[in-house]
Structure 1
Amino acid sequence: MLRKGVICALLLGPAALLAGSAHSAGSDRAGSPPPLTAYRAVYNLSLARSGEGGTLASVRGRIAFDFSGTACDGYVENFQQVTELQPAEGPLRLSDLRSRTFEGGDGKDFRFEIESRLDNEPMEKLGGKANKSAGVALAIDLAKPAPRRAELPGEALFPAEHLRKILRAALAQEKIVEARVYDGSDDGFRLLDTTTIIGKPVIGAVAEKAAQIESLSKMRRWPVSISYFDVKGKDAPPLYVMSFDLYENGVSRALNLDYGDFSLAGEMTELSLLPTPAGCDR
């Protein structure tokens, strides 16, 4: 029998991280990465590891997303993760997570809409916005499934800010980054503590044909691993760990999603670098 927690873990997904990676190549002047790259990418998912109990016999799925925007106008991200899980016992299970987000170029506002389906049955839609302003660390206004408001204390980064912080650390040859992150997941009021480990930079050939393009061939990339924790349980194991290669321009490849009971590999199969609007010098 496939535990409910396994399915719920998949619905956490790497949406926020990929959204951040797409627009993490912002315009920080000192030691900044190259200019922002807008792109579309597709990753095929497969089972990399199953737990000791052999909970899963096989997994297949796909992550697809596209990103557009500038530091002046803000950034738009569309994301979808569809995953078929075949348990060792029982019927096939299907999860489908879709999200649409907007993050202001100044990192002060974030809007999100999240839809999920389990075995083709829709779950509650989640939507709202979050803002940071003087005197209020993070104000969240939820519109779906019902209007709710909360003000959360403490500093929290939105996804783009988080990835910018990681890229700045990589360029400064730092190895560890700790940050609290808000991405609209779970019930819309959840904060996550993160610990990022950054490896040594690499330049050169990669396995995926989709990533074998001239603009990436001479660009530095770093092996990165980000562990996500509940803010109330930092001493507990992470909720999930996402590992990948991160290029200076924000493109991610060689995904690995570790949910504890199992892990998934994400192979990049499509990559399209898109034109970026001119006229923004931020």
Structure 2
Amino acid sequence: MKTTIAGGFALFAASLAAGAAAAATPVKLAPHRAVYDLTLLSSSGSRGVDSAKGRIAFDFTGDACEGYALSFRQVTVLQSGEIGERVSDLRTTSFEDGSGSSYKFKSESRFGTGATKQIDGEADRRSDGTVGVRLAKPKRDRLSVASDVLFPTAHMRKLIEAARAGETLLTARVYDGSDDGRKVFDTLAVIGRRIEGKTDLLEQVARKSDLDKLARWPVKISYFTPGEGERTPLYVMSFELFDNGISRDLTLDYGDFTLKGEMKQLDVLPASSCKR
């Protein structure tokens, strides 16, 4: 019995040491291009979506030294007996400083036959700690947002750091320039235990890119309008997150319907020599 207890403590201490070492290693996000095919997973509520299909194209480059550039496009075709066919098309580009101190963004979105909505702006952390936003579109404006906000790539790095450390929850305010460029999201991320094995479930393109050799965790992020008390999330995103920032097995829950995203293409680009 004493040997068993001692062995248990030794394993526990070793796991703590391994976790501390992983947490101390800087997060290196992999430059990559990925394509996900979207299909309808479930539907409920008044919108009555009968079928859905679409695609996400994701192009992420850069590093902590030079900053991170993202090009994203999501096209979704919704079909129902009530509304017929509706096509939504969202295109965004952004650039985030490697330290998370500045963020530039542009987006164009269109739903059905409606007008194209454009957003163009930039955000910076000021010397007093506040975050200032300058919008060029949809109209010129200046505003301040919560000083503790994270920009998207900084949020992703925080998620990986939390997962490595064995944390199960991460709350953060996130600003990504979406909606009209004025919205800040309260987010709650639930991080599951590290997925051991099960590499046979990975897509062929993931195994070819050696993702089966990396740590990965199930993550579920709920996005809320800032406020107090119980709130219904605006939407919920679930995925498996790899240690290098690549995601697979997407689920996008918009409330009335949920889409599933399956990785169909992945090109991992050469890593930079950045030491940060």
Structure 2 counterpart of 1:211, one-letter code: A
In the other structure, the counterpart of 1:246 is: 241
Give yes or no for the alignment of 1:132 onto 2:125: yes
TM-score (norm 2): 0.87
Give yes or no for the alignment of 1:146 onto 2:145: no
Question: Relative to 1, partners in 2 of residues 1:50 and 1:201: Cα closer, same or farther, differing over 3 Å?
Answer: same
Structure 1 counterpart of 2:239, one-letter code: F
Task: Work out the number of aligned pairs and report it.
Answer: 254
Question: Relative to 1, partners in 2 of residues 1:92 and 1:233: Cα closer, same or farther, differing over 3 Å?
Answer: farther
Structure 1 unaligned spans of 5+ = 1-27
Q: 2:187 aligns with which of 194, 202, 206?
A: 194
Conserved 8 A contact 2:60-2:70: yes
Conserved 8 A contact 1:203-1:219: no
> What is the aligned-residue identity percentage?
45
In the other structure, the counterpart of 2:34 is: 41
Question: Relative to 1, partners in 2 of residues 1:173 and 1:111: Cα closer, same or farther, differing over 3 Å?
Answer: same
In the other structure, the counterpart of 1:4 is: none
User: 1:97-148, CA deviations, whole angstroms, 9 ceiling, x for partnerless residues?
Assistant: 0000000001100000000122255422100000112214210000112210
In structure 2, distance between residues paired with 1:144 and 1:29: 42
Question: Relative to 1, partners in 2 of residues 1:54 and 1:35: Cα closer, same or farther, differing over 3 Å?
Answer: closer
Answer with 1 or 2: which has the greater Rg: 2
In structure 2, distance between residues paired with 1:94 and 1:210: 28
Give yes or no for the alignment of 1:256 onto 2:251: yes
In the other structure, the counterpart of 2:158 is: 165
Give yes or no for the alignment of 1:277 onto 2:264: no
In the other structure, the counterpart of 1:183 is: 176
Question: Relative to 1, partners in 2 of residues 1:116 and 1:87: Cα closer, same or farther, differing over 3 Å?
Answer: same
Structure 2 unaligned spans of 5+ = 1-20
Q: RMSD of the alignment, in Å?
A: 1.9
Conserved 8 A contact 1:136-1:151: no
Which of 193-202 and 226-235 deviates more? Answer: 226-235
Which of 211-220 and 66-75 deviates more? Answer: 211-220
In structure 1, distance between residues paired with 2:75 and 2:116: 14
Q: 1:111 aligns with which of 104, 110, 132?
A: 104
Structure 2 counterpart of 1:267, one-letter code: E
Structure 1 counterpart of 2:217, one-letter code: W
TM-score (norm 1): 0.85
State the Cα distance separating 1:54 from its structure 2 match. 7.0
Give yes or no for the alignment of 1:221 onto 2:216: yes
In the other structure, the counterpart of 1:20 is: none
Q: 1:89 aligns with which of 82, 85, 102?
A: 82
Q: 2:205 aligns with which of 174, 187, 210?
A: 210
For residue 83 of structure 2, give the secondary structure of its aligned residue in structure 1.
coil
Structure 2 counterpart of 1:277, one-letter code: S
Structure 1 counterpart of 2:132, one-letter code: A
In structure 2, distance between residues paired with 1:224 and 1:146: 35
Structure 2 counterpart of 1:130, one-letter code: A
Conserved 8 A contact 1:31-1:171: no
For residue 89 of structure 1, give the secondary structure of its aligned residue in structure 2.
coil
